[in-house]
Amino acid sequence: MEYNIIQILLVGIVAFIAGIDQFNFLESLYQPIVVGPVVGAILGDLQTGLVVGGAYQLMTIGNMPVGGAQPPNAVIGGIMATVFAVTSNLEIEVALGLAVPFALIGQYAVTLIFTIMSPLMAKADQAAIKADGAAIAKLNYFAMGMLGLFFAIVCVLGLVGGSAVGNTLSNLSQEYTWFMNGLSAAGGMMRYVGFATLLRIMLSNDSWGIYFAGFAAATIIGSIDGLSGPCLILVAFIGVAIAINEFQTSIRIKSNLKIAGNGGEEDGI
């Protein structure tokens, strides 16, 4: 089936918006249950869109982007499954299968953009030093635009080129699996830079023990089945107790010193 330029453009726009919406804005427009019927309507078959969107939605329910992990991308997956189902009158299951390579490409795109944006944080630092709010806004818009554009390109390519493009893409990605794996391993490590930056400011020589205590508490609780989800809440309870105790103890010391009449300005630390 051939599509006119307006339909192709509209699918591109849907992919652009959905690509951004998966992390921002309403964080619900991108769900297959919404994207499916919209793409279906654009291609002239709302019914198929509804059915595919619903089916893909049920598939992704167990596959949420929880805790920052990147599952095969449901946005591109949902759009492409609808495209294939409508275009080729394929069985829903087959269409869903054909969409998988595209979903993987989407996952790679996200990994790539999250990596590229890391060094760009230095630019944000420069803007903050100059108190330049407009530059911070621009940086955010730029990142969203990049993400949306990438998704639009992949989906338009898929719409025009069909499942052949999917095969090419997945072959290509298989060849560079080592590179993408390396990139996501590096991506997983970059948060340690964020932690180290915080520690550089917050950590004094006498609080290493507290740092290790937090590490230990989270490691213990996180390794217990069923507690890995609420782990940080439980850890926070312990931390708050320690902090309140510290706060009250030092206030008591301060007031005792005052009563004793030798309370200096520099006490406590």
Partner 1 sequence: MASNQTQYKNLTPSNKLDKKTLNKMVWRSLFLQASFNYERMQAAGWLYAILPGLQKIHKDKDDLSTSMQHNLEFFNTHPFLVTFVMGIVLAMEEKKTEINSIRAVRVAAMGPLGGIGDALFWYTLVPITAGITANMAMDGSILGPILFLLIFNGVQFAVRYFLMYWSYDLGSKAIGVLTAHAKEFTRAATMLGVFIVGALTSNYGGTTIATTLENGDSPIVIQGILDGVLPKMIPLALTILLFWLMKKKGWTPVKCICLLLVIGIVGGFFKVFA
106 binds partner 1 (CB under 8 A): no
What's the min distance (Å) between Cβ of 165 and partner 1? 26
Q: According to CB under 8 A, which residues from 114 to 173 bind partner 1?
A: 114-122, 124-125, 127-131, 133, 136-137, 139-144
What's the min distance (Å) between Cβ of 26 and partner 1? 6
259 binds partner 1 (CB under 8 A): no
Nearer to partner 1 among residue 205 and residue 262 (C-beta): 205
CA 223 vs. chain centroid, Å, equals 24
Specify the 3-state DSSP secondary structure of 228: coil
Token pair of 31 as six digits? 């769900």
CA-based nearest residue to 13, from 139, 156, 143: 156
Which position among 7, 9, 10, 57 is part of the footprint of partner 1 (CB under 8 A)? 57
174 binds partner 1 (CB under 8 A): no
Q: According to CB under 8 A, which residues from 72 to 101 bind partner 1?
A: none
61 binds partner 1 (CB under 8 A): yes
Burial 107-146 (b: 16+ CB within 10 A, else e): bbbbbbebeebeeeeeeeeebeeeeeeeeeeebeeebbeb
Are the C-beta atoms of 63 and 71 separated by less than 8 Å? Answer: yes
Query: Count residues contacting partner 1 (CB under 8 A)?
Result: 111
23 binds partner 1 (CB under 8 A): yes
DSSP string, 38-105: HHHHHTT-HHHHHHHHHHHHHHHTT---GGG--PSPHHHHHHHHHHHHHHH---HHHHHHHHHHHHHH
What's the min distance (Å) between Cβ of 133 and partner 1? 5
Q: According to CB under 8 A, which residues from 186 to 245 bind partner 1?
A: 186-203, 207, 210-219, 222-223, 229-233, 235-236, 238-240, 242-244
